Chains A and B, each alone.
Chain A
Amino acid sequence: MARSSLRIGILVFPGSNCDRDCHHAVTAIMSAAAEFVWHKEASLPPLDAVIIPGGFSYGDYLRTGAIARFSPVMAAVTRFAESGGLVLGICNGFQILLEAGLLPGAMLRNRSLSFICRDTHVRIENTETPFTGRCKPGQVLTLPIAHAEGNYYADPATLSSLKAKNQIVFRYCTPEGKVTPEANPNGSLDNIAGIVNTTGNVLGMMPHPERCAEALLGNEDGRLILLSLLDSLKSGRFSPKPAMVS
């Protein structure tokens, strides 16, 4: 049964800086209730989904996300994910999910060694996830990136497994949808821009859907991701099993 008011938690680490943007996206685009969850919390309040926002958790002076994964809240998020709850990690959130072991692989510095902020094109590789239900297979979205460490890496075995299990959700591509080296902004392995875990309930993505979900901002492609997530929550198929969360 879908509840009348969905509650989405947004983690706040010291140094998170897209937390307020995600709050805006959840309330203004998804018309759901948004709740900040402080990194020092050892358990989550009752939530339907968790967003780990972008930013520079703990300054990211060490490897990105490497300290955040030790925050008390990440143990709770891990339990939430294991119980089937939906977790969306954007940018630094993706990096934290990798460090926390909720997703496989690691992030290297961008091939250019510099921060890159611009629009990219990404091709939808998997529409069967709770985050991409509104997309068409092979659809090309324009989504902005803003990161210095988005150069995804995994060892060959992990990459084969990602492919075999259809875990690659977004690939950087040309405007026409071709996955080419030129369309790869940061050197990411196999042009990977986002992946899900094997059970499909945890998505990490480098592009920022919350930055392109309003007509006023000139691009609404991000809505597809946010509203797919909303559809999935409303379907009730992805509610976390309460016993496992607490």
Chain B
Amino acid sequence: MITKDLIIQHGLTDEEYGKIASILGREPNLTELGMFSVMWSEHCSYKSSRAFLKKLPTEGPQVVQGPGENAGVVDIGDGLVAVFKMESHNHPSFIEPYQGAATGVGGILRDIFTMGARPIALLDSLRFGPLDNPKNRYLFGGVVSGIAGYGNCMGVPTVGGEVYFNEIYNHNPLVNVFCLGIARKDQIFRGRAAGVGNPVLYIGSKTGRDGIHGATMASDAFDEGSESKRPTVQVGDPFTEKLLLEACLELMEKDFLVGIQDMGAAGLTSSSCEMASRAGTGIELELAEVPRREQGMTPYEVLLSESQERMLLVAKPGREGEVLEICKKWDVYAAVIGRVMGDGLLRVKEKGAVVAEVPARALVDDAPKYERPAAAPPYQDHLQSLPLELIPEPRDCNAVFAALLASPTIAHKGWVFEQYDHMVQINTLIRPGSDAAVLRIKGTDKALAVTADCNSLYCVLNPYVGAGIAVAEAARNLVCAGARPLALTDCLNFGNPERPDIMWQFILAVEGIADACKALKIPVVSGNVSFYNETRRLSIYPTPVIGMVGLVDHADRAVSQGFKAEGDAIVLLGETGEDLGGTEYLKTIHHREQGMPPMLNLDREVALQAVVLEAIEQGLVRSAHDCAEGGLAVALAECCLSAPAGPMGAEIVLGAQGLRRDSVLFGESQSRIILSVKPGDLERIKALAQKAEVPLSVLGFAGGKRLTVSIRDEHGRAAIEIDRPCQELAIIWRGALRSALESPLEVEGRHA
């Protein structure tokens, strides 16, 4: 008997329950209610976002598989494809940081090797509250070790990502994980249960009671009792996943499979109904055959368990014996648990008795779709106002500069990425810490570049512009490495979509992504939406993280951000404006998170990226670096401090152009890239820029042991604003994150 309480406990509305009953033509039983509850959860059904995601461009000549599968696929030539996706694991990571992050990595890896691809790289996009709070240190440390524990064991290098700190993430950190794999184009697998009568196999870890209703948890906001939800977080076992990976790739190589899907959120339920739904078939399962680690599990528990490291396979007829044999070789549990049916139903039996019978398509496609009300929040005007006359210009730019380099968001992230094996598989040509990581593709001359980007402060100030900048910056980062952007995956982290202000943010952000994608001709091939990132009605900043993949045609021409040689000319492409709104400078020095984010002119962005790519392809560029948080001054410091043979100085003169000094040094105007070039190549770069009408200025020359930055006023008088030994800057920048983690704690509860 389904009571009103049960319906509420399952996170369903009365209308949704009514729809379930009308689909079935009867009341559901408890097992069926559980299945609908997870499949129709926001996490699985995208019920609040689907209508808007349609605006994203998903097509292009390079696209082999767009959104809707386990991961997106793009053609990279030589008969190969790149397979990639990004997903969030925010809620579990807040409840249990190590396991939450670890299983996030495990899940995204399975999404990639499910498609027949060997994973070659991971990225993580992380956001936490400030590190002077002990809880945040615990979460940050736990998440980083969880990622390391899982990814390192799997032998997949974690080559980059991003880490931001902001109080808004105090009670809702974000953990987004991205994975890239490579497959042969003629050997891509999809999650399809095709071929009536084909055997359905379960392989991987045994099923336990862990993670039941994880998807439902991820579809709700946090409250004081959230930590009691720890049992809904799964425990990861990377060793089993490694065996599962090798077993799956061997099965695919042997051509025994029709379809395959990871059991992720909503476990056996989602994998079976999604595979059937995609193929227009049904599946009959016998739960008694499911390998279990606990006695006395009910059908409800078996169907909804989110135990990790499990896959559902549909084998070619008569091949189940060979599948079981390969699984045995790899010590992976495997069992035939059902078969493909022609009736479109997901029929679940327990020892022969039917315990659930639901149209597969109803679970997947008939979830309600909401176009929830959206409205700009009343606080938006206040957020966007920035009376610059109230912001004093810094007296000591050297001190401001040092403070910015020490800001944990800007500081060198070695403390994080040195805990990740970022070299295994020996493809990593450009390691973490540059604009994009670059991985060679063995057996070809090519390489792939990957990056993950989002400035969520920009996004809260103007979701449309902020999201567009996330796309533009990701593309710019790839271009700086010498890669042509191919496609992107997005991970859209937002608050509660039932709030009109959150829906307003979401809709604008999606439009911002769509328009930037169209201008830059970069399709979206996969993605993930994570709503309900809020605790006690305090929502996170809208955080649409963009993971992007680009192709480097000649691996040996990939470029990194560090200056390479004394005497090289330093050139800025793009223009600096009065862009202080939403900057790290304003936040760190003036404690203001307001203003309009920097303007994004997509035409200029396209032209800039084309020039830089052309210059790199012509071999004219020794280093390239995007200007992001902290502006020109910080970008220049990063070029100096990332020099391969140790810090290299530079002498720089910037034109004031009627701007405030802080705007010149620390403003975050978009569409700017710093290049270093051999002096002899300067004229050729100038010609390229002029032809494309991209502004170019020569800022100075690399060399020496100090970074000196002067500003020249309209009368031609130059005044030194920044002058520090690089060795000193290196200590600040490289040591800041560790210092922040080891500094004495302030009074507890300040951020509570």
Contacts and interface: CB of A to CB of B under 8 A. Distances in A.
Given A116-B418, A117-B421, A210 B426 contact: yes
Given A15-B239, A56-B153, A218-B429, A115 B148 contact: yes
B239 A115 contact: no
A143 B442 CA distance: 21
Given A14-B243, A114-B148, A115-B420, A217 B426 contact: yes
Given A114-B419, A117-B423, A24 B442 contact: yes
A61 B149 CA distance: 11
A24 B155 contact: no
Nearest to A58: B239
A59 B644 CA distance: 35
A18 interface: yes
A204 interface: no
B238 A144 contact: no
A24 B425 CA distance: 9
B423 A208 contact: yes
B418 A118 contact: yes
Interface in B536-574: 555-556
B250 interface: no
Interface string A3-23: 000000000001101101100
Contacts of A144: 423
A117 B555 CA distance: 23
Contact of B242 (A17, A20, A148): A17
A55 interface: yes
Given A14-B243, A21-B426, A115-B419, A216 B556 contact: yes
B326 to A, nearest CB: 13
A212 to B, nearest CB: 9
Nearest to A20: B425
A146 interface: yes
B422 A117 contact: yes
A211 B148 contact: no
Interface residues on B, range: 20 to 34
A36 B155 CA distance: 17
B533 interface: no
Contacts of A15: 153, 239, 242-243
A12 to B, nearest CB: 9
Contacts of A216: 429, 440, 555-556
A14 B328 CA distance: 12
Contact of A146 (B239, B331, B424, B556): B424
Contacts of A214: 426
A118 B440 CA distance: 19
A193 to B, nearest CB: 17
A68 B428 CA distance: 28
B421 A115 contact: yes
A144 B556 CA distance: 21
A172 B428 CA distance: 23
A91 to B, nearest CB: 10
B285 interface: no
A114 B145 contact: yes
Q: Which of A21, A58, A115 has the most CB of B within 10 A?
A: A115
A42 to B, nearest CB: 16
Interface string A119-147: 00000000000000000000000001010
B330 interface: yes
B132 interface: no
B123 interface: no
B424 A59 contact: no
B154 interface: yes
Nearest to B330: A14
B152 interface: yes
A147 B637 CA distance: 31
Interface in B381-420: 414, 417-420
B148 A17 contact: no
Contacts of B418: 116-118
Contacts of A20: 425
B442 to A, nearest CB: 7
Contacts of A60: 153, 239
A210 B417 CA distance: 20
Interface in A172-214: 208, 210-211, 214
Interface in B354-378: none
Contacts of A115: 145, 148-149, 152, 419-421
B187 to A, nearest CB: 18
A117 B420 contact: yes
Interface in A77-129: 114-118
A14 B153 CA distance: 11
B651 interface: no
Interface in A25-70: 25, 54-56, 58-61
A17 B331 contact: no
B237 interface: yes
A211 B152 CA distance: 15
Contacts of B238: 56, 59
Nearest to A14: B243
Contacts of A59: 153, 237-240, 242
A210 B425 CA distance: 10
A18 B427 CA distance: 12
A115 B150 CA distance: 12
A115 B426 CA distance: 18
B22 to A, nearest CB: 49
Nearest to A210: B426
B421 A146 contact: yes
Contacts of B555: 216
Nearest to B556: A216
B425 A21 contact: yes
Contacts of A208: 423
A17 B238 CA distance: 12
Contacts of B421: 115, 117, 146
Contacts of B240: 59
A14 B239 contact: yes
Contacts of B331: 14
A174 to B, nearest CB: 13
A117 B419 contact: yes
Contacts of B426: 21, 24-25, 210-211, 214, 217
A61 B236 CA distance: 12
B148 to A, nearest CB: 5
Contacts of A24: 426, 442
A14 B242 contact: yes
A217 B429 contact: yes
Contacts of B155: 17-18, 55
Interface in B427-476: 428-429, 440, 442
Contacts of A18: 155, 424
A56 B646 CA distance: 33
Interface in B309-332: 330-331
Nearest to A215: B556
Interface in B324-343: 330-331
Contacts of A146: 152, 421, 423-424
A21 B242 contact: no
A3 to B, nearest CB: 27
Contacts of B242: 14-15, 17, 56, 59
Contacts of B440: 216
Contacts of B424: 17-18, 21, 54, 146, 211
A21 B157 CA distance: 12
Contacts of B237: 59
Contacts of B149: 115
5 contacts: A14-B330, A17-B424, A56-B152, A56-B238, A211-B424
Interface of A: 14-15, 17-18, 20-21, 24-25, 54-56, 58-61, 114-118, 144, 146, 148, 208, 210-211, 214, 216-218
Given A54-B424, A117-B152, A216-B429, 9 more contacts: A14-B242, A18-B155, A58-B239, A59-B153, A59-B240, A115-B152, A146-B152, A148-B152, A216-B440
Kindly list the 6 A-B residue pairs having the minimum CB-CB distance in the complex, ordered from nearest: A17-B155, A59-B239, A56-B153, A146-B421, A21-B426, A115-B419
